Amino acid sequence: MTAMRRRAPLLLGSILIAAVSLGACGDDDEAAETTTAAVTTARPTPTSAAAVATDAPTTTRATATTSAPASAPTTTAAPATTTTVDVATTTTTTTTTTTTTTLPPTTIAETTTTTAPPPAPPTTAAPAIVTVATAPALPQPVTPPPPRANEQHLQVGTIEIPRIGINKPMLEGISLNTLDKGPGHWPGTAMPGQPGNVVVAGHRTSKDRPFRHIDQLVPGDEVIFNTADGRFVYTVTDTQIVLPDAMWIVGQTPESTATLFACHPVGSTRQRIVVFLQLQA
């Protein structure tokens, strides 16, 4: 019994020494003192995990990351806490959770709208005005009357032929009754000075015989007509001998021309002598 009592102090001292050595491995002196107190008590009072956690030191590690660029996504770190509970020591570890938020685009693609120009109004071409020069209608000679037809013997002007000394009244008509009184204008042919062909007939052998010497006319000689419209000078261009049926000599021309004719040769009616003239400009 005495031996056991001697051993008891030794055992208790060994336990105290061991407790001090474990305390030296703690984080600080406060933890060591707590451990020593717990061992010294013969019947230690159970300590709840909540009580120990309250007295134990807490270590918190927080990492915050902030991204500054306006156009780059923003990173926000939310702390997460992990708690480890031990009978003697409580350690709290904080883990960083990274949340990434992507900003919506701040630039909207530009929409280009092209408006087609309005259609050009229909173009209406102005109607072309075509001016057609219409030649004046040419006179139309009448059919020759019977040789002794009664005509009015109306004077329409005078005829002058300086080369052969003629200056006579000019009558309207070509029948023998008219020509017996002087040179006659073929009805329906042009009047002097107008476009067309002025046709005048005359005797060579009977009555007044005004055209007796027209065979003496040469190109360039003048024949002058005087009418109510004025004085018109024609010049000789040519002389021809034709048959009595050569009606083409009374044909009308676009230009102002004149034709004189009479029987040929003198004293005969077998042919006709024809003198052509042109109005002077």
Give the pLDDT confidence of 244-277 residue by residue, as tens digits. Answer: 999 999 999 999 999 999 999 999 999 999 999 9
pLDDT at 127: 67
Confidence band of 77 (pLDDT split at 50, 70, 90) = very low
pLDDT attached to residue 204: 95
Mean pLDDT of the chain: 72
pLDDT at residue 153 greater than cutoff 70: yes
pLDDT at 172 over 50: yes
CA 3 to chain centre: 133
pLDDT at position 140 over 50:
yes
pTM, to two decimals = 0.55
Banded model confidence at residue 116, pLDDT cuts 50, 70, 90: low
Residue 1's pLDDT is what? 47
Mean pLDDT of 89-100: 47
Q: What is the pLDDT of residue 206?
A: 86
pLDDT given for residue 69 in this prediction: 41
Over 70: is that where the pLDDT of 36 sits? no
Which segment of 1-15, 29-43, 149-163, 195-209 scores lowest on mean pLDDT? Answer: 29-43
pLDDT(181) > 70 = yes
Nearest to 193 by CA among 140, 138, 141, 258: 258
User: pLDDT value at position 25?
Assistant: 39
Looking at the chain, the whole-number percentage of residues with pLDDT higher than 70 is 53
Q: How confident is the model at residue 131 (pLDDT cuts 50, 70, 90)?
A: low
Residue whose C-alpha is closest to residue 103's, from 140, 74, 146: 74
% of residues, the chain, pLDDT over 90: 49
**Tokens standing for residue 31:** 């933890």
pLDDT of residue 180: 95
